[in-house]
Amino acid sequence: MLRRVLIANRGEIAVRVMRTCREMGIETVAVYSDADASALHTTLADRAVHIGPAAASDSYLSIERLIAAARQAGADAVHPGYGFLSENEAFATACADAGIIFIGPPPAALALMGSKIAARRVAEQAGVPVVPGGIPDDQSDAALAAVAARTGFPVLLKPAGGGGGIGMKVVRDAAALPGAAAQARREAEAAFGDSTLYLERLIERPRHIEIQVLADAHGHVVHLFERECSLQRRHQKVVEESPSVAVTPSLRRQLGDAAVAIARAAGYQNAGTVEFLLEGIGNAARFYFLEMNARLQVEHPITEAVTGVDLVRAQLGIAAGEPLAWPQEAFSQRGHAIEVRIYAEDPGQRFLPQAGRLLLYRQPSLPGVRIDAGVVEGSEVSVYYDPLLAKLIAAGESREAARQRAIAALEQFPILGITTNAPYLREVLQHQRFIDGNLDTHFLDSEHDALMAPLATELPDVVRELANLAASASPSPATHGSTRSDAVDPWDAPSRTPRGR
């Protein structure tokens, strides 16, 4: 059993990990930068260690500072969360060298699956379909052109060493290839320190389906079914759900078997996600391996909602050397779950990230609704980090029940002080194509105008009035929304209650 865990992260994922640790009687250590001195995760941990200036490169991305913090706090394990150093082989190695357990896969598996080219080869060796394409040996424009000619246009240029859509280029004809390759190399080198590229046939309107896997150190590997992650903007997921309406029982078994085979072939341990592109729906659909995310995913709560498995608890147990407690046949999906990501961003300004103080922030309390958040009323939202404020997870006995519950929860989730994407998320959930389950990775782009049109209206005057009241009544960040007997709560007004836009 682990005794004390340092969470090498911030925000909602740090808070999420702390909750399970507390259940298990494990002490937690938070780390924080100058910008996060009064952040929620620092107050919830048993202890907190300062790790540097606000810039992530000098704090949350500093392996040296994180290892020093773990030693200072006497932590016997480190949970990396997601983002930052969660898939960094050097960080996992540094933890091992310091005698600290890294709650994630071994460094060798991180290195293997961190390379998109190496991961593709692992999938091929495991007998899992990959998108037709190739990896040029000499990386010259001529070699790229030869692979593209064999594959057939249009193609997708992809960096070998990164993700998040950085450096990816759609190329529709041979004339555009040299320019696209030059730009992709520059972006890949700047972001990942590796300009290596490969090509794949462009699948025009696929679904993005991922499979959650767990693997222990005793040779046991299981999957916990699929998540539908097709609703993306700039290659970043916005809405996820489980199960997928496009996946039949037969296809689900094939996807799960493929994910387990890849995890085994990679020597994987701990929690991970194998991602696929899906062409078509039902048993006639074809799937292709995309990549493996060697960490806990942002959207893991929807898997927890439909399987009843605490994935963080499973991670901690695996890291402590325990065997998985369940065989594959013990898992089942029950009901449906939808997750939406609430960001501090302005949809009307091309989703420009927002910063400032949360003058009003009241989480809904509804049956079947879970909120994973890294902020409270009075929190300062920084310009330095990802603008994710919270994740809203709605579960129900059916997809429609979960959808309606998510909409109701968003309408009862007032946030003032900074602009968020909550109104946009409601429009997504209410769009007829979403209701019908007619989804693909281009949905948000193709339906952009229809989703944005209802957001163009002015905020009602009552919202401005309540914002002014909230500014005077809001607690300081240090109180983290504690009850104040003498304070006026403007959102408790008995009439003219706005819908939370």
Please, which residues have CB within 8 angstroms of residue 429's CB and are 6 or more apart in sequence?
239, 338, 340, 403, 406, 407, 410
Residue 464 has pLDDT above 60, yes or no: no
- For residue 495, the model assigns a pLDDT of 35
Helix (H) or strand (E) holding 15: helix 11-23
Closest by Cα among 226, 214, 210, 212 to 269:
214
In DSSP notation, 225-256 reads: EEEEEEEEETTEEEEEEES-TT--HHHHHHHH
Omega prior to 243 cis, within 30 of 0: yes
- For residue 457, the model assigns a pLDDT of 65
Closest by Cα among 402, 408, 410, 407 to 342:
410
Residue 63 buriedness (CB in 10 A; 0-12 / 13-18 / 19+): middle
Please, which residues have CB within 8 angstroms of residue 390's CB and are 6 or more apart in sequence?
12, 342, 363, 371, 372, 373, 374, 375
The residue type found at 90 is A
More confident residue, 246 or 458: 246
Closest by Cα among 235, 245, 6 to 102:
6
- For residue 350, the model assigns a pLDDT of 94
- For residue 460, the model assigns a pLDDT of 47
CA distances from 240 to 20, 425, 432 (A): 22, 12, 17
CATH number of 207-456: 3.30.470.20
Backbone φ and ψ of 16, nearest 5°? -60, -45
pLDDT-derived band at 496, boundaries 50, 70, 90: very low
Helices (H), 32-176: 40-44, 63-73, 89-97, 107-114, 116-125, 141-151
Cα–Cα dist 35/32, whole Å: 8
pLDDT-derived band at 403, boundaries 50, 70, 90: very high
The residue type found at 180 is A
Residue 315 has pLDDT above 70, yes or no: yes
Residue 318 has pLDDT above 90, yes or no: yes
Please, which residues have CB within 8 angstroms of residue 72's CB and are 6 or more apart in sequence?
49
Share of the chain above pLDDT 70, in %: 90
- For residue 471, the model assigns a pLDDT of 55
CATH class assigned to 4-103: alpha beta
Helix (H) or strand (E) holding 29: strand 27-33
- For residue 483, the model assigns a pLDDT of 37
Lowest mean pLDDT, pick from 131-135, 357-361, 465-469 = 465-469
- pTM comes to 0.90
- For residue 283, the model assigns a pLDDT of 78
Residue 474 has pLDDT above 70, yes or no: no
CB 339 within 8 A of CB 240: yes
Lowest mean pLDDT, pick from 29-43, 280-294, 397-411 = 280-294
Task: Report which DSSP code applies to 349.
Answer: G
**Per-residue pLDDT tens over the stretch 423-443:** 999 999 999 999 999 999 999
Beta strands in 172-323 (DSSP E): 197-201, 207-215, 221-233, 236-242, 270-279, 286-293
CATH topology of domain 132-201: Dna Ligase; domain 1 (3.30.1490)
Residue 478 has pLDDT above 50, yes or no: no
Residue 51 has pLDDT above 90, yes or no: yes
More confident residue, 54 or 135: 54
Residue 169 buriedness (CB in 10 A; 0-12 / 13-18 / 19+): buried
Average pLDDT for residues 293-318, to the nearest whole number? Answer: 98
Q: How far is CA 103 from the centre of its chain?
A: 17
More confident residue, 193 or 218: 218
CB atoms within 10 A of CB 88: 22
Helices (H), 32-87: 40-44, 63-73
CB 157 within 8 A of CB 169: yes
CB 73 within 8 A of CB 47: yes
Cα–Cα dist 331/192, whole Å: 37
pLDDT-derived band at 458, boundaries 50, 70, 90: very low
Residue 20 has pLDDT above 50, yes or no: yes
pLDDT-derived band at 481, boundaries 50, 70, 90: very low
pLDDT-derived band at 497, boundaries 50, 70, 90: very low
Q: Give the pairing type, strands 236-242 and 221-233.
A: antiparallel
Cα–Cα dist 476/474, whole Å: 7
- For residue 469, the model assigns a pLDDT of 57
Cα–Cα dist 30/43, whole Å: 9
List the chain domain ranges: 4-103, 132-201, 207-456
Cα–Cα dist 477/358, whole Å: 9
pLDDT-derived band at 463, boundaries 50, 70, 90: low
**Per-residue pLDDT tens over the stretch 170-217:** 999 999 999 999 999 999 998 888 899 999 999 989 999 999 999 999
Cα–Cα dist 21/23, whole Å: 5
- CA torsion sign for 467, 40, 298, 168 is positive
Residue 445 has pLDDT above 50, yes or no: yes
- For residue 499, the model assigns a pLDDT of 34
Cα–Cα dist 467/462, whole Å: 8
Please provide the average confidence, as pLDDT, over all residues in the chain: 91
pLDDT-derived band at 165, boundaries 50, 70, 90: confident
Closest by Cα among 389, 422, 353 to 11:
389
- For residue 467, the model assigns a pLDDT of 57
More confident residue, 157 or 164: 157
Task: Report which DSSP code applies to 60.
Answer: T
3 state SS of 52 = strand
